[in-house]
Amino acid sequence: MSMKKKTPLGALASVLFVLAVTLLPVEIVMAQDAPTEPISAVVGATASVEEAAPVEEVATLDSGDTAWMIVATLLVLFMTIPGLSLFYGGLVRAKNILSILVQCFAITCLMSILWLVYGYSLAYGEGNAFIGDFSKVFLKGVGVDTIGGGDTIPESVFFTFQMTFAIITPALIVGAFAERMKFSSVLIFCTLWFTFSYLPIWHMVWGGGLISKWGAIDFAGGTVVHINAGVAGLVTCILLGKRKGYGTTPMVPHSVPLVLIGASMLWVGWFGFNAGSELAADGTAGMAMLVTQVAAATAAFTWMVVEWLKTGKPTAVGIATGAVAGLVAITPASGSVGPIGALVIGLASGVVCYFCATSLKKALGYDDSLDVFGVHGIGGIVGALLTGCFFWEGSTEGFKIGSQLWVQFKSVIVTIVWSGVVTFAAFKVAGLLTGGCRVDEDEEDQGLDLNSHGESGYSS
């Protein structure tokens, strides 16, 4: 019992210290020397007219692209605080709403720091097939003139845009273990999972690593964000165990209006998530916006109809959850499919996610509090696979569905296995450092708001 009361903040500090010592080279103290020269100043400057040598395309900042990406970055941050916070906060019981809001807020702060210290470097750095290097720790070499991520936006904007992805991904996992995990354990678990699951998958998919070399398509995060987080949510909720009274005590959302408000914020913010992933204000971004809207609307309407037919009542929580499922599923495909593909993806995700979040969960008996796996994990898998079926829509690539579907399938399997193994290890380490990840039964009965944070979300 004495271990249970050991200083959780000390445990978190220990983890952060060990990570800092093991992941960061000594040279970070000199991180800000040698600012990088603008790319546009050196490319092709000495080529003579007589030689007629081909000149590389010059990377030049574009004010329109930059302005759009700043807006997109704010939209994605808006998805977590307040969008996801309110969506999850409305779904839990009243005695736990503050715990959800604080967890999302604290994760926003923690991931912002970790992304700066080493996350961006290990994700975006050249590295190897599985992880990046330490070339950009503390944003070494990044200045106001540095272009990065694309050819037309400042690297600082690209860095911050990707930071918002790093923020929302572990925040998604919160919904799976809602109402029963220690706050200190949440922070330590998220630190470890971010370091050893999110960053390697990011690098493998978007940083030129293993999955990227296969030719897998993940435009905005079907594997990196949603399958990754969904699997982590499933593993965590199984290891943590069911909430006290689950299956016998009603655990209905305490505020359905908050659920709808949060879902609406997620929907609006998702245009930054998907259209912003083009890193430019162009036609592809415009099509990504279009298909995002189509898929979300189709999935929401489909979920509503299926629920109506099955239970006799179309619920507000149902249509809101359906919209999120459609947004998840279109995410990997948003840069490579057209309206027809979006309709099919929305329809498929509405049906499949509904049954996985209801029938499958009941059949297997796990307590995924807010259906993180059923919506994000399954929605991400549906979207990633159907991307392989509709990526050719509107292109001149021809029909290569078989080969692309195989590549998409491999990327899904690697993400599931990697996230599952890391999640198991991170959970066990967090439990060792905090005397077990789960709160006491009395604290669970009284609610996490008062016991973890000393406050109540409601005065009565």
pLDDT grade, residue 457 (50/70/90)? confident
Asked if residue 346 belongs to a domain, the reply is yes
pLDDT, tens only, 273-316: 999 999 999 999 999 999 999 999 999 999 999 999 999 999 99
Asked whether the predicted pLDDT for residue 48 surpasses 80, the reply is no
48 SS3 class: coil
Partnered with residue 154 across adjacent β-strands are: 147
Spatial distance between the Cα atoms of 156 and 177, rounded to a whole number of angstroms: 34
**What pLDDT, in 10s, does the model give residues 383-392?**
999 999 998 6
Tokens 């409601």 found at: 458
26 lies in a domain?
no
Q: Where are the alpha helices (DSSP H) in 129-196?
A: 155-173, 183-193
Position 11 in a domain: no
Domain count, the chain: 1
Q: How far apart are the first and last CA of the chain?
A: 33
Query: Cα dihedral angle (205, 209, 214, 217), rounded to 10 degrees?
Result: 20
Of 237, 227, 261, 218, nearest to 174 by C-alpha is: 237
Give the C-alpha separation, 292 to 334, whole Å: 7
Instruction: Report the percent of the chain where pLDDT is more than 70.
Output: 85
* 435 domain-assigned: yes
Dmax over Cα atoms in the chain, in whole Å?
84
Q: How do residues 167-210 score in pLDDT, each as one tens digit?
A: 999 999 999 999 999 999 999 999 999 999 999 999 999 999 99
Residues in the chain: 460
Write out the two tokens for 228. Answer: 């990754």
Tell me, yes or no, whether 12 lies in a domain: no
Domain assignment present for 28 = no
Task: Please indicate, yes or no, if residue 19 is contained in any of the structural domains.
Answer: no
What is the CATH number for 192?
Answer: 1.10.3430.10
Alpha helices in 356-400 (DSSP H): 361-364, 372, 378-390
Domain that holds residue 401: 61-452
pLDDT at 163: 98
User: Are the C-beta atoms of 38 and 19 separated by less than 8 Å?
Assistant: no
Is the separation of the CB atoms in 223 and 415 below 8 Å? Answer: yes
The percentage of residues in the chain with a pLDDT greater than 90, rounded to a whole number, is 81
What's the pTM? 0.88
